[in-house]
Amino acid sequence: MQASKIDLLIHCKWIIPIVPENQILENCSLAVDGEKIIGIYPQVEATKRFEATNIEHLNDHIVMPGLVNAHGHAAMSLLRGYADDLALRPWLEDHIWPAESRHLSEEFVTDGTKLAMAEMIASGTTCFADMYFFDDAIAQAVRTAGMRCQIGFTVLDFPTAYGKDADDYIHKGLKLNDKYSGHSQIKIACAPHAPYSVSDSAMQIVSTYANELDMAIHIHCQETAGEVAESVDQYGCRPLERLRNLGLLLPQTQLVHMTQLNSEDIKLVQDHNCHVVHCPESNLKLASGFCPVGQLMDAGINVALGTDGAASNNDLDLFGELRTAAMLAKAVSNDPTTLDAHAALRMATINGAKALGWDEEIGSLEVGKSADMIAIKTDSIPQQPLYNPQSQLVNTNVGHQVSHSWVAGKPLLADSELLTMNEQSLIQSANNWRNKISS
Q: Is 349 exposed, middle or buried (0-12, 13-18, 19+ CB in 10 A)?
A: buried
For 323-331, which contacts have Cβ atoms below 8 Å and span 24 or more sequence positions?
323/394, 323/395, 323/397, 324/280, 324/281, 324/284, 325/278, 325/280, 325/293, 326/394, 326/395, 328/280, 328/284, 328/290, 328/293, 329/293, 329/294
Distances (CA, A) of 203 to 151, 192, 209, 252: 18, 7, 10, 15
Q: How much of the chain exceeds pLDDT 70, in percent?
A: 100
d(CA 349, CA 18): 8
Q: Could you read off the pLDDT of 213-227 as tens digits, one per residue?
A: 999 999 999 999 999
Residues of the chain with CATH 3.20.20.140: 73-355
Q: In 10 A of CB 225, how many CB atoms?
A: 12
**Does the model's pTM come out above 0.95?**
yes
- Count other Cβ atoms within 10 Å, centred on residue 82: 18
Mean pLDDT lowest for which of 1-5, 7-11, 205-209, 346-350?
A: 1-5
* H helix intervals, 36-104: 43-49, 88-91, 97-103
Work out the pLDDT band at 1, boundaries 50, 70, 90: low
Residue type, 16: I
pLDDT at 439: 80
Q: Are 347 and 21 within 8 A, CB to CB? A: no
| Residues paired with 26 in a beta bridge | 14
Q: What average pLDDT does the structure give for the chain?
A: 97
Is 325 within 8 Å of 278 (Cβ atoms)? yes
Residue range 256-277: average pLDDT? 98
Q: 138 with 130: CB under 8 angstroms?
A: yes
Q: Give helix 135-145 / helix 106-122 axis angle, nearest 10°.
A: 40
How is domain 73-355 classified at the architecture level of CATH? Alpha-Beta Barrel (3.20)
Distances (CA, A) of 424 to 108, 118, 234, 429, 434: 17, 11, 49, 9, 15
Give yes or no for a contact between 335 and 327, defined as CB atoms under 8 angstroms apart: no
* Average pLDDT, integer, range 346-358: 98
Question: Between the CA of residue 23 and those of 19, 64, 215, 366, what are the distances in Å?
Answer: 7, 11, 33, 12
Q: CB of 299 within 8 A of CB of 276?
A: no
Helix (H, G, I), strand (E, B) or coil at 153: strand
User: CATH 2.30.40.10: which residues of the chain?
Assistant: 4-65+371-408
Give burial (CB, 10 Å; 0-12/13-18/19+) of 437: middle
4-65+371-408 to CATH, choices 3.40.630.40, 3.30.420.40, 2.160.20.10, 2.30.40.10:
2.30.40.10
What are the pLDDT digits (tens) for 106-122? 999 999 999 999 999 99
Digit-coded pLDDT (tens) for 359-375: 999 999 999 999 999 99
- State the chain's maximal CA–CA distance in angstroms: 73
- Round to whole Å and give the CA distance between 401 and 416: 8
3-state secondary structure of 324: helix
In three-state form (DSSP H/G/I as H, E/B as E, the rest C), the secondary structure along 157-217 is CCCCCCCCCHHHHHHHHHHHHHHCCCCCCEEEEEEECCCCCCCHHHHHHHHHHHHHHCCCE
Helix (H) or strand (E) holding 377: strand 373-377
For residue 68, what is the enclosing H or E element?
Answer: strand 67-69
Q: Is the predicted pLDDT of residue 88 greater than 90, yes or no?
A: no
- Is the pLDDT at 68 greater than 70? The verdict is yes
pLDDT at 236: 98
